[in-house]
Amino acid sequence: MDETLVSNLFHNDLYIYQCGNCQCESGHEYGPAIRDHYLIHYIHKGKGTFSVNGKTFELTQGMGFLITPQIVTVYKADVSDPWEYSWIGFNGPKVKSWLKEAGLSEEHPVFEHKEDDTIDLCFRKMNEARFAYRGGDVKRLTHLYLFLLTLTESNPNPVVPDEIPDKSIAYINEALRYIEMNYSLGLTVEEVARHLGLNRSYFTALFKKEYGMTLQEYIINFRIKKAQDFLTNPELSIDDIGRSVGYCDIYTFSKAFKKVTNMSPRDYRKTLQPSKNCFY
């Protein structure tokens, strides 16, 4: 089984490191410093400067700037009219391409949006979500996505892909997404092919050529990987876990599990229990 192929589906597209808001004092300066993640500041009022790669940008209300990982930057509040800004720090496997679509990169780190107060509200809502009793993380992510979408839709220079992805790769990516969403429903190869509007034999051959395993093998491996995750929860029975990953009876589930891992679900669960001889 290709562990990388399956594990890639569990990576978050976007995760937040930090967010906050500050009314800076006159002449307040931060840097030179680097970050290990992406960081965006948005100016609610006032003004200041942002310096990166030998360039200095004069920024005012309705503007913002991007700090990219491992790049030295300095930013400073104006002496007479110091800025109030909000910031959001984030990262993820798709962030760089999303920022590019929004017109932001190391080469183009500054943006401006003065058409309406959408972005201003996005940052204020992200900060409010820090104190939410429930759903704070979801609210922050929601407004971060909305911020990126607003910049993307208003980008005067929309990104044109370097090349159009091969159609077969697009089919395979859609199949992986469909499996991730429906693996618990007794999904079959025929259903995946039908969803794609392709002949079953044609797509299974295409899939095997690309990944070196049949589509059926991939679906089974995906289910067993999920089952392994569920087995870490001692409150779930083996029967419960089997049904949760798409097997209607424990015999079929145990047989599939053993074929992939060379042990039964029960024996696998035992390997997760700490040894009584361990010392901490």
pLDDT tens for the chain, residues 1 to 280: 444 443 333 345 678 888 888 899 999 998 788 888 899 999 999 999 999 999 999 999 989 999 998 888 999 999 999 999 988 888 887 788 888 888 888 888 998 888 788 888 888 888 888 777 777 788 888 888 888 888 888 877 765 555 555 678 888 888 998 998 888 888 899 999 999 888 888 888 888 888 888 999 999 999 999 999 899 888 888 988 988 888 888 899 999 999 999 999 999 988 886 544 433 3
Q: E strands within the chain?
A: 15-23, 29-33, 38-45, 47-52, 55-60, 63-67, 73-77, 84-91, 110-112
Yes or no: is domain 165-272 CATH 1.10.10.60?
Answer: yes
CATH class of 7-154: mainly beta
The answer to whether the CB of 61 falls within 8 A of the CB of 45 is: yes
Element (H, E) at 143: helix 136-154
Helices (H) and strands (E) counted in the chain, each on its own, are 11, 9
Q: What are phi and psi of 266, to 5 degrees?
A: -65, -45
Task: List every span in the chain annotated with CATH 2.60.120.280.
Answer: 7-154
Task: List every span in the chain annotated with CATH 1.10.10.60.
Answer: 165-272
Q: Distance (Å, rounded) from C-alpha 75 to C-alpha 34?
A: 12
Whether the predicted model's global pTM rises above the 0.75 cut: no
